[in-house]
């Protein structure tokens, strides 16, 4: 029996929510808060959690080894299809916060998430349960505004919309913690890991780093003392969203395209390649000049990112990150360039941005079998086609020349990488040892 207040309802419970929201809530001081969790639709995770009293093991995977702790923040778990339980939980006067991790798709036309939220809010209005906050924990810029608009799109009753306008807060947030899928080997390894929950079938594996920046939009509402667990409560999340998009996400895209061209499979392998590392630092220099944050904070974020990227035990594949470049590059790379040119029209495109766009161009034209992006230009595209997709107004002679030159440098680096891989393969083939270490497969640049 838990003594936690079931004050949070969460929709979309999965590995990230349990590594982030539930972990932060477990580490707060003061009144212990609990989470009533709902899956997207499937009952699988809800049933598995219910079978072990909603407790689970969080494995923090550092380069030096694993550490385990048992998280008990979830007080009940339901399948998302249990509409009666959903309406009851949102309408409960004990509930003051609804959080979501439903991915970008959950906010788009055709998703049933906004309708489910509207139904819950309608039940709350009928119950007279008072004010509530809806908090998106998905990777969307200004996600509070996006969530507000999504809910409004599902409301057809003007009276309900008036009640929402008067009683529902939509604070924005920025979240960050790499949480790979749990494998069968991870589950098996729990038996030998001190601190793990005995017999746990649904552990979560995550990196040591965690961050949550939350807009102070809870006036008149109870909430956990998240700041005691390291959450930053701020007036405006925008600078922190930009920091994540431009530093973390921007360099992820650069590493994905350039790393694949140079024969790497993972972020850890790519960041240790001097060519990739130099390009990342150039991209970060350009972003740092535009970020409205103190220099030491930006420097600390860069240092932390290098440590995170180099963790070889968090396997983050470049191919996964490389998907959807036509949607990602405008906000991760081109947005920095626009700020740069607005501040100084004569600055031109920086070498980091030029390399990122050139690497994407070569990615879609020389390795189309790795492209997962309906909006990408075709395999026969030129640099003008690339700019037409991500930044048509920047298709100027200086920008085209810079991207073309960056592409030439990548091709040269790719030739050198293939020569090194070929030499390594030849040496390995002639060796007499039987324990061989595989090398990354070269990819034509």
DSSP track, 181-201: PP-HHHHHHGGGSTTPPTT-S
For the stretch 62-68, contacts whose Cβ atoms lie closer than 8 Å and that sit 24 or more positions apart, written own/partner, are 62/207, 62/208, 62/311, 62/313, 63/310, 63/311, 63/312, 63/313, 66/189, 66/193, 67/195, 68/190, 68/193, 68/194, 68/195, 68/196, 68/203
Question: Is the pTM above the cut of 0.85?
Answer: yes
State which residues of the chain have pLDDT below 50. 424-445
Q: Which pLDDT score, from 0 to 100, does residue 419 have?
A: 62
Q: Which pLDDT score, from 0 to 100, does residue 414 have?
A: 87
Q: Which pLDDT score, from 0 to 100, does residue 263 have?
A: 95
Please tell me the distance from the alpha carbon of residue 212 to that of residue 256, in angstroms, as a whole number.
25
| SS3 of residue 137 by DSSP | coil
Q: Which pLDDT score, from 0 to 100, does residue 40 have?
A: 87
**Beta partners for residue 36, in sequence order:** 9, 76
- Convert 387-400 to b/e letters by CB count within 10 Å (16 or more is b): bebbbeebeeeebb
**In the chain, what are the domains?**
5-234 (3.40.50.720), 238-430 (1.10.1040.10)
| SS3 of residue 444 by DSSP | coil
């Amino acid at each position: 029996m838990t003594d936690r207040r079931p004050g949070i309802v969460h929709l979309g419970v999965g590995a990230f929510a349990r590594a982030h929201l539930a972990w932060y809530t477990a580490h707060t001081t003061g009144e212990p808060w609990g989470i009533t969790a709902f899956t997207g639709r499937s009952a699988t995770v809800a049933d598995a959690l219910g079978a072990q009293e909603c407790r689970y093991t969080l494995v923090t995977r550092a380069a030096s080894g694993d550490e385990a702790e048992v998280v008990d923040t979830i007080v009940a778990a339901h399948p998302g299809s249990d509409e009666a339980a959903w309406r009851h939980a949102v309408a409960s006067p004990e509930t003051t916060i609804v959080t979501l991790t439903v991915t970008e798709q959950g906010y788009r036309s055709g998703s049933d998430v906004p309708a489910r939220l509207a139904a819950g809010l309608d039940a709350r209005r009928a119950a007279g349960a008072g004010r509530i906050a809806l908090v998106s924990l998905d990777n969307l810029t200004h996600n509070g505004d996006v969530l507000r608009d999504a809910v409004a799109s599902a409301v057809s009753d003007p009276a309900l919309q008036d009640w929402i306008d008067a009683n529902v807060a939509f604070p924005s947030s920025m979240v960050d913690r790499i949480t790979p899928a749990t494998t069968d080997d991870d589950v098996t390894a729990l038996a030998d890991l001190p601190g793990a929950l005995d017999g746990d079938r649904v552990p979560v594996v995550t990196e040591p780093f965690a961050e949550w920046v939350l807009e102070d939009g809870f006036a008149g509402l109870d909430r956990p003392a998240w700041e005691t667990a390291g959450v930053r409560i701020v007036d405006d999340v925008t600078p922190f969203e930009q920091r994540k998009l431009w530093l973390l996400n921007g360099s992820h895209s650069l590493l994905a395209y350039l790393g694949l061209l140079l024969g790497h499979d993972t972020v850890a392998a790519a960041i240790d390649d001097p060519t990739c590392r130099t390009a990342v630092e150039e991209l970060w220099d350009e972003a740092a000049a535009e970020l409205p944050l103190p220099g030491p904070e930006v420097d600390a974020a860069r240092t932390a990112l290098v440590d995170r990227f180099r963790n070889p035990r968090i396997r983050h594949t470049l191919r996964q990150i490389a998907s959807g470049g036509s949607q990602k590059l405008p906000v991760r790379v081109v947005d920095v360039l626009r700020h740069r040119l607005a501040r100084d029209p004569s600055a031109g495109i920086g070498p980091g941005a030029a390399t990122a766009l050139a690497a994407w161009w070569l990615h879609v034209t020389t390795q189309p079998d790795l492209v997962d992006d309906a909006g990408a230009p075709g395999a026969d595209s030129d640099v003008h086609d690339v700019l037409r997709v991500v930044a048509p107004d920047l298709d100027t002679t200086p920008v085209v020349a810079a991207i073309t030159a960056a592409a030439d440098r990548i091709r040269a680096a790719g030739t050198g990488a293939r020569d090194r891989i070929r030499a390594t393969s030849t040496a390995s083939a002639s060796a007499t040892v039987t324990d061989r270490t595989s090398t990354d497969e070269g990819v034509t640049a």
